[in-house]
Amino acid sequence: MKTTFEINPIKEWLPNLNNPLLISGPCSLETEQQTLETARLLAKDPRVFVYRGGIWKPRTRPGSFEGVGSIGLKWLQMVKKETGLPVGTEVANAHHTEEALKADLDVLWIGARSTASPFVVQEIADVLKGSNKPVLIKNPVNPDVQLWMGAIERVYQAGIKSIVAIHRGFTPFRETKYRNYPNWKTVIELRRLLPNLPIICDPSHIAGKREYLFEIAQKSFDMGMDGLMLESHIDPSCALSDASQQLTPADLGKLLDRLVIRHQDANNPDFENRLDMLRSRIDTLDAELLEMLSSRVAIVKQIGQYKKHNNVTALQINRWSQLMDNRVKLGKKLDLNESLVKTLFQLIHEDSVRLQTDIMDTE
């Protein structure tokens, strides 16, 4: 079910925006010198619109660098005064939010760990009431779109209409080459539910390593996202947090040069006409798929009745294993992605078993 929010477009609170939103700066502010030197270099690139810097760092375990704290607010004010760039930081509780508002930072964001706690988000939202600060909300650590939406709703109900979602990936349930699992389908679902909500990508936290930043950034533009948050440090090798995922300002510029920015529409009538025709064919095929699925369900129900009358279990694992093997082999012949075929027939089979057990439970 779609939810209608009156979300301000990014350009309303960032009038100088003439490209996708790019937020950049160190993972953590470490010294006044590091803060300002990084900012000066980033400010030379007109594609950077907001300077970011973490000052309160929620670490998994104590003993790691947990940020410089409130002194970093002064450094961010100095960046804004010297470079003219809007500045922002992460707030993880009500106290952080009060201090950031008092320092008149331009942008605040709520991190993944905080988004996962409705209590924390509500405390932050209560402090935000009466302000007009843009608030960026990262996805929770687990791929729970309702939890993400809940955080967005709490901030919106506080009167904040300049909201942006940040896709930073999810805690992986298995080993992957990335630090965090992208799970793009959760982002697609959020866009379906909140179509007017700007969404940007945080390739730094998804990738975890510099060598993967470009592919994640390009993928995000291919998916139609509205911008990026990319970490940049004057000397990443000396960074006190997340050193392996940060770029120098120069390397950030090189990455941006390679990116191809996609658009929602094309000023080409031939393209639009061709696209409409292809989409019409997709619609027809989807209708046929649903009709065939309906016919399959009718047969599954017949099988359920037959099994019930003969006292046979709904789940027959040998049949299921044989079916899956055959479908995967056929899918390969048809040049279909194996993962797609497995996922599709897993869902179909689970529903078939459910239908048959429901029939067996009836008198």
Same domain, 144 and 185: yes
> How sure is the predictor about 159, in pLDDT bands with cuts at 50, 70 and 90?
very high
Nearest Cα to 68, choosing from 27, 109, 37, 107? 27
The pLDDT value given to residue 263: 74
- Give domain status of residue 110, yes or no: yes
Q: Tell me how many helices (H) and strands (E) the chain has.
A: 14, 8
Among 127-136, 272-281, 282-291, whose mean pLDDT is lowest? Answer: 272-281
Q: What is the mean pLDDT of residues 268-283?
A: 81
Give DSSP secondary structure letters for 249-304. Answer: HHHHHHHHHHPPPP-S--S-HHHHHHHHHHHHHHHHHHHHHHHHHHHHHHHHHHHH
Same domain, 217 and 355: no
Q: What is the mean pLDDT of residues 302-312?
A: 90
Residues in Cβ contact with 161 at an 8 Å cutoff, skipping those fewer than 6 apart? 5, 6, 7, 8
Give residue-wise pLDDT tens across range 73-85. 999 999 999 999 9
Same domain, 42 and 162: yes
| Alpha carbon separation from 29 to 43, 66, 106, 137, 202 (Å, rounded) | 16, 10, 17, 20, 18
Same domain, 149 and 274: no
Q: What is the mean pLDDT of residues 103-123?
A: 97
Instruction: Show the tokens assigned to 223.
Output: 């998916």
pLDDT beyond 80 at 266: no
Same domain, 192 and 280: no
- From 231, 258, 285, give the residue that closes a domain: 258
pLDDT beyond 90 at 66: no
- Give domain status of residue 312, yes or no: yes
Q: What is the mean pLDDT of residues 284-293?
A: 89
Same domain, 278 and 198: no
The pLDDT value given to residue 1: 58
Instruction: Show the tokens assigned to 229.
Output: 């948050």
Please state, rounded to an integer, the average pLDDT across all residues of the chain. Answer: 93
What CATH number is attached to the domain comprising 47? 3.20.20.70
| CA-based radius of gyration for the chain | 25
The pLDDT value given to residue 176: 83
Q: What is the mean pLDDT of residues 112-132?
A: 97
Q: Which helix (H) or strand (E) holds 165?
A: strand 163-167
pLDDT beyond 90 at 274: no
Expressed as residue numbers, the domain containing 316 is 269-361
Same domain, 81 and 121: yes
What CATH number is attached to the domain comprising 325? 1.20.59.10
Same domain, 92 and 204: yes
Q: What is the mean pLDDT of residues 59-84?
A: 91
- From 192, 225, 258, give the residue that closes a domain: 258
CB atoms near residue 70 (< 10 Å): 15
Same domain, 130 and 194: yes
The pLDDT value given to residue 64: 79
The pLDDT value given to residue 363: 63
Which residue has tokens 């939890």? 147
Domain total in the chain: 2
> How sure is the predictor about 116, in pLDDT bands with cuts at 50, 70 and 90?
very high
Q: Is the pTM of this model over 0.85?
A: no
- Give domain status of residue 189, yes or no: yes
